[in-house]
Structure 1
Amino acid sequence: MATRPRQRSRSLVQESGVSVFAITGANGQLGRRLVRSLAELEPGVPVRALVRSAAAAASLGNLVATHPLLDVRTVDFSNPDSMGPALVGVTRVVHLVGILRETPGNRYADAHEGAVAALIAAASRNGVGQLIALSILGADARHQNACLRSRGRADDLLRGSVVPATVLRVPMVLGGEDPASRALAARARRSWSVTFRATSLEQPIDADDVVAALRSLLGVPLGDLAPLAGAALDLAGPESLSRKALIDRAAALVGQQTRVFSLPVAFGYALAFALERALKAAPVTRAMLGVLDHDDCIDPAPAAARLGIELTPLDMTLRRVMALA
């Protein structure tokens, strides 16, 4: 069995002198992985998990049982007064809150710009020394896509924050136990599947590499944050390939053969528009489809080198996806 590349090992306690970390959206896939990573590699680091509901807090019960220094708090991410008490004594915050699909009760502006504005206000009042935020590759305040535009505006707020902030932008994240992994594995196992614009370029990154990148940023001493304050790092997996090639590759790794049929993306947008008109909370929206159809093709080496991490080979990631999803 292939050995996973090792990331540069650094002690967060020794190098950052941290007292308490806070993770917003800690109940998500990456939040859980980050909590587990800190618990295993840095057992002396207190972690405060910020979530938006009692149900989300309850979902972290197993992590609380295995990580005695994990403190779960339920907060309103849009309200700095609600977030403030949860940030008392916190030195660094990793912000993982964001949405792909907008609903009437959860708008992009509230989930992205509103949450970031509240975080900055609460962090500045409580003396937080560093903010690290996860965003989407392609986010741009001038983008025509509503989701990418909203993400871009939130990124700009962070980059201009009075609290030193760094934005990490990534594409599709594959961890084996997440919706993207399950969807990919399901397509790869079928004899045939249908997708919109199969030539769309994907550059998936391993979930463990994202966690390693976040840990690297957390390990920078507070006195050395100046070069990272206001920076946006674009990180992706080691290979960019078409959606069809990605599905074929995943199938081949487990001895499967599959056929991928491509539909015009315009048909997808028309279907999404019809669903938006017919339903209050459409399962697929035009903005969501636009993000999924975004072509991802960057050189990840500069960001990986700056972060001191080694990217997991795509085949290794796909083998785990096919084994776990």
Structure 2
Amino acid sequence: MAQLVTIFGGSGFVGRYVARRLAQQGYRVRVAVRRPNEAGFVRTYGVVGQVEPVLCNIRDDASVQAAVAGADAVVNCVGILAETGKNRFEAVQAAGAERVARAAAAAGITRLVQISALGADANSPSEYARTKAAGEAAVLAHVPGAVILRPSIIFGNEDGFFNRFAGMMGPILPVVGANTKFQPVYVDDVAAAAVKAVNGDVPAGIYELGGPDVRTFRELMQDTLAVIHRRKLILNVPFFAASIMGGVLDMVQGLTLGLFTNGVLTKDQVQNLKSDNVVSEGAAGFEAFGIVPTNYHAVLPSYLWKFRPSGQYDAIKASAKNLRG
């Protein structure tokens, strides 16, 4: 019988690509998610019964234990960019990762892949980065042979970065930390690395994953505007102003008991944006997996076209104008 891999967060942005690649390689895939009724699309990644969503809450011991039961390997893709309700950084990224690793170790599972993030640092002023580091430490404490992947900002069809900024309305595009550097990495490249780790193709350890280009936030926005054929003023918002803005929005979310969800800017995100998000010198990366990372210039037009003035017909209209001239 084919081996079984449990993917926590397997219907999310990164998880769905991991699930698809594992299914293509013949694995049985258990997609552990909070809302399995909304994750039915993962079934189409394999033959009937090969990929199945199951109910799981990473904050609950029994739920996690049930999800890993009978599995041969585990991939944890769960993470949050902002806190809402009971989904706090500590509960999800630190305690949640520890719970997954503890359950895997108790079940005798030695192949565990943890999707972390570049910038994970126990001493960071950002709680996001601190809890990512705490999650890594907990994973290695329970499963010393785990593989930890630290990607930079991830791009792809369903991403929340390029899609978000491309979809902003108005003549001004505000950014916080215009000179902060990123190394955008393609989601399917991250998934390919995760699958190779599941296969046991790389030694245990921490791998930093970045694309072939290092660009500032401003340069990424300039490239985005070029792809969507729009002209806007890119306005750098100073960190002090952004911190005040994020703090106020966080407070409003707290005062409304979650009725207002701060999906604009949090104070913790401002802290993150103060540090470059690039691969460290000498760090192990894609080369260890035999993967040549994809250039974001080659992929952005395939999904950002919908933000162009005339959408999919933008190029046709431009061509028609040339003919009339």
Q: CA RMSD in A?
A: 2.3
Pairing 1:232–2:206 present: yes
Alignment partner of 1:58 out of 25, 28, 37: 37
Residues 185 and 321, structure 1, Cα contact 8 Å, conserved in 2? no
Question: One-letter code of the match for 2:166?
Answer: A
Which secondary structure state, in structure 2, belongs to the residue aligned with residue 23 of structure 1?
strand
Give the TM-score of the pair, scaled to structure 2: 0.84
What CA distance in whole angstroms lies between the structure 1 residues aligned with 2:44 and 2:78?
A: 24
Provide the rounded CA distance (Å) in 2 between the counterparts of 1:236 and 1:300: 13
- Alpha carbons of 1:317 and 1:301: their partners in 2 closer, same or farther (altered >3 Å)? farther
Match of 2:65 in 1: 84
| Amino acid of the structure 2 residue aligned with 1:60 | A
Alpha-carbon distance, 1:48 to partner: 0.5
Alignment map for 1:142-181 (pairs within 5 Å): 142-162=123-143, 164-181=145-162
Task: Tell me the CA shift for residue 86 of structure 1.
Answer: 2.0
Cα deviation, 1:4-35, whole Å, max 9, x if unaligned, reads xxxxxxxxxxxxx9610110011211111222
Pair 1:315 & 2:294 matched: no
Give the counterpart letter for 1:232 in structure 2: I
The farther-off stretch of 245-254 and 88-97 is 245-254
1:271 aligns with 2:255: no
Q: 1:203 aligns with which of 163, 179, 183?
A: 183
Name which of 1, 8, 19 aligns with 1:24: 8
> 2:101 maps to which residue?
120
Q: The residue matched to 2:78 in structure 1 has which SS? A: coil
**Once the 2 structures are TM-superposed, how far is the Cα of residue 241 of structure 1 from its aligned partner?**
1.1
Percentage of identical aligned residues: 24
Say whether the 8 Å CA contact 2:74–2:111 is kept in structure 1. yes
Higher RCO (CA < 8 A, seq sep 6+): 1
| Structure 2 equivalent of residue 247 of structure 1 | 221
Do 1:120 and 1:163's aligned partners in 2 also have CA atoms closer than 8 Å? Answer: no
Q: How many Å apart are 1:317 and its aligned residue? A: 2.6
Question: Does the Cα contact within 8 Å between 2:120 and 2:129 map onto a contact in 1?
Answer: yes
Residue of structure 1 in register with 2:271 after alignment: 290
One-letter code of the match for 1:154?
A: G
Q: How far apart are residue 162 of structure 1 and its match?
A: 3.5
Task: Tell me, yes or no, if the aligned pair for 1:174 and 1:207 is still in contact at 8 Å.
Answer: yes
Aligned to 2:240, the other structure's residue is in SS state helix
What is the distance in 1 between the residues matched to 2:295 and 2:143? Answer: 37
TM score, norm. by length of structure 1: 0.84
Quick one: distance in 1 between partners of 2:14 and 2:198?
15
- Report the structure number with the largest CA radius of gyration: 2
C-alpha contact (below 8 Å) 2:68/2:103 kept by paired residues: yes
Q: What is the SS of the residue equivalent to 1:73?
A: strand
- Secondary structure of the structure 1 residue equivalent to 2:147: strand
Equivalent residue letter for 1:32: R
Q: 1:146 to 1:164 in 2, by over 3 A?
A: same
Q: Note if contact 1:124-1:163 (Cα within 8 Å) is conserved in structure 2.
A: no
Report deviation, 1:254: 4.8
Would you say the 8 A contact 2:155–2:296 is kept in 1? no
1:259 paired with 2:213, answer no
